[in-house]
Amino acid sequence: MTRRVLTALPVFNEERHLLEVLPQVRAHSQDVLVVDDGSSDRTPLLLAETDGIHVLRHETNQGYGAALRSAFQFAIDGGYDALVTIDCDGQHEPLLIPRLVERLYPEDGATVDIVSGSRYLEIFPGDSAPPEQRRRINAQITAELNRCFGLALTDTFCGFKAYRTSALRKFDITETGYAMPLQLWIQAVSQQMTIVEFPVPLIYLDETRSFGGSLDDAAQRLAYYHEVLQREMRLQQLGCGGGESRD
């Protein structure tokens, strides 16, 4: 069976990486979407000069979560069978795109809703040393999700993922910032989705990359993540333990 797969890249001011990453993605995915989240550098010009891709542009910067939400809707509206999301900063290897899609459709016919890349599931030759604060926060949030909901995740924040479009239709993404994956995990638990992790190399090309504003402070970033988690748990009526909240 031939499946229609879309690979989407959320971008914001990625002129440094776009011309290197985009051809690699196109080599491993027939359909490619770039969501330009209000870039103010040469990214829009470079995209306008690139043939054979779909481009969605947010006129103002709305946030990482908003860019992914637009990609989800594009995949749904376009009738695709699956969506792969991949960052445009060189941290992910596009040659792995077909392998993530394969894991969505196991040979035994099992239903897998999300294949999530993990930079900590295996050690690869040449792996980078992750920035300590980012690794610590990722580990803490991942442990909390696992403890509350009986998950077995090793990497909460990896942007390299594959989704069945049937799963995308079940999400109601309202978090527009970097905590969007946390809202997604809570909703995936609420919808009883099947999640599989896939090992990917750990590559950091720019350890000084900014989250923007107050989120560059680790304590404030962690507080923001907890706020989003707690809010979404209330909305989905989930308590820590996976059952309905009694609050």
Model pLDDT for residues 165-206, shown as the tens digit of each residue: 999 999 999 999 999 999 999 999 999 999 999 999 877 655
In a domain, 202, yes or no: yes
186 is a domain residue? yes
User: How many of the other CB atoms lie within 10 Å of CB of 19?
Assistant: 13
Residue 146 lies in a domain: no
Looking at the chain, how many residues does it have? 247
Q: Which CATH number belongs to the domain containing residue 73 in this structure?
A: 3.90.550.10
Provide the residue range defining the domain that includes 50: 5-127+154-210
Please tell me the distance from the alpha carbon of residue 85 to that of residue 204, in angstroms, as a whole number. Answer: 18
Residue 219 lies in a domain: no
The number of domains in the chain is: 1
* Within-domain flag for 190: yes
Helices (H), the chain: 18-28, 43-48, 64-77, 97-104, 132-149, 165-168, 180-190, 218-235
Residue 225, domain member (yes or no): no
Condensed to tens digits (0 to 9), the pLDDT of residues 197-213 reads 999 987 765 545 555 65
- Sequence-distant (6+) residues with CB within 8 A of 62 are 37, 38, 176
Task: Please report whether residue 60 resides in a domain.
Answer: yes
Render pLDDT for 121-177 as a digit per residue (tens, 0 to 9): 877 776 666 677 888 999 999 999 999 999 999 999 999 999 999 999 999 999 999
Q: What predicted TM-score, i.e. pTM, was given to this entire model?
A: 0.91
Q: Is residue 220 part of a domain?
A: no
